[in-house]
């Protein structure tokens, strides 16, 4: 079972603040992903990475940015939070093989007031 | 047309019945297929994966794949109220440089 950790679990923050959502995995997986999901709605891919110094935008336009300086760490940053950013953010990792499943973290539920 | 399509439901079945969840995909070169279960407010968790045409069984769960019809399904036998959740179908592309594609999910309700 993959170990993938997201912090914080819940975050309530005011408009205009800069925030970083943390995601770390201990399985040495090359691929990592960030998804955004509103309650009862589908998953939307916002960023992904195939390895160190490799990041790409996903299908959903996002004002967030990501970095991948170390294999195990894939933080997501919002420079200026807005109420429209209120959502659940899910991090996932995957081995390099195309046949490998994604393993998800517990998510960060973000509320911007 | 979405790349991975699922009926949003809700699919309602009585306890003890077989629940059948379906998924179609558009990329004929897709290699791997995954079923995830997601409880409300929780992260998706992997239930099963299937790579080859035919059936694959794991306990009460059976995944069925038909690549010619571009169709994958999940059967849940002896459905329990604890199976009530949203089931996500995910499809892996034919190259390693693209991300997994998820369907929008089917909500299953098992009535006691």
Cα Dmax for chain B: 44
Mean pLDDT of A37-60: 91
CA gap B112, B105 in Å, rounded: 22
A42 with B102: Cβ contact below 8 A: yes
Return all residues near B78 (Cβ < 8 A) that are at least 6 apart: B16, B18, B60
Mean pLDDT of A32-46: 93
Per-residue confidence (pLDDT) for residue B95, from 0 to 100:
65
In angstroms, the separation between the Cα of residue A28 and the nearest Cα of chain B is 17
Per-residue confidence (pLDDT) for residue B19, from 0 to 100:
98
Say what percent of chain A tops pLDDT 70.
Answer: 97
pLDDT tens by residue, A81-110: 999 999 999 999 998 876 788 999 999 999
pLDDT tens by residue, B23-69: 999 988 888 999 999 999 999 999 999 999 999 999 999 999 999 99
Is pLDDT at A14 greater than 80 in this prediction?
A: yes
Looking at every residue in chain B, the average pLDDT score rounds to 93
Q: Which residues in chain B are contacts of A99 at CB distance < 8 A?
A: 31-32, 49, 51, 92
In angstroms, the separation between the Cα of residue B88 and the nearest Cα of chain A is 9
Per-residue confidence (pLDDT) for residue A68, from 0 to 100:
97
Is pLDDT at A61 greater than 80 in this prediction?
A: no
In angstroms, the separation between the Cα of residue B94 and the nearest Cα of chain A is 8
Place of tokens 């994604």: A102
Residues from A in contact with B at Cβ < 8 Å: 31, 33, 39-43, 45, 48, 50, 58, 90, 94, 96-99, 101-107
A42 with B103: Cβ contact below 8 A: yes
The count of CB pairs under 8 A between chains A and B is 53
Per-residue confidence (pLDDT) for residue A98, from 0 to 100:
65
Per-residue confidence (pLDDT) for residue A40, from 0 to 100:
87
A42 with B105: Cβ contact below 8 A: yes
- E strand or H helix at A14: none
Strands (E), B27-105: 32-38, 45-50, 54-58, 61-66, 71-76, 85-92, 101-102
* Lowest-confidence pick of A8-12, A96-100, B61-65, B81-85: A96-100
* Lowest-confidence pick of B7-11, B23-27, B92-96, B99-103: B92-96
């Amino acid at each position: 079972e993959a170990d993938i950790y997201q912090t914080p679990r819940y975050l309530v923050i005011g408009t205009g603040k800069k925030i970083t959502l943390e995601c770390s995995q201990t399985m040495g997986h090359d691929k990592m992903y960030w998804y955004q999901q509103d309650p009862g709605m589908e998953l939307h891919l916002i960023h992904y990475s195939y390895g160190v110094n490799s990041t790409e935008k996903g299908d959903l336009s996002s004002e967030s940015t990501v970095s991948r300086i170390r294999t195990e760490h894939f933080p997501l940053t919002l420079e200026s939070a807005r109420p429209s950013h209120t959502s659940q953010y899910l991090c996932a990792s995957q081995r390099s093989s195309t046949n490998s499943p994604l393993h998800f973290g517990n998510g960060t539920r973000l509320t911007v007031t | 047309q979405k790349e991975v399509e699922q009926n949003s439901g809700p699919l309602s079945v009585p306890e003890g019945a077989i629940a059948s969840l379906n998924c179609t995909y558009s990329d004929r070169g897709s290699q791997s297929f995954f079923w995830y279960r997601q409880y409300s407010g929780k992260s998706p968790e992997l239930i099963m994966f299937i790579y080859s045409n035919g059936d694959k069984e794991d306990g009460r769960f059976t995944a069925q794949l038909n690549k010619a019809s571009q169709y994958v399904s999940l059967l849940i036998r002896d459905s329990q109220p604890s199976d009530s959740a949203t089931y996500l179908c995910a499809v892996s592309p034919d190259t390693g440089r693209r991300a997994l594609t998820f369907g929008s999910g089917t909500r299953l309700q098992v009535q006691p």
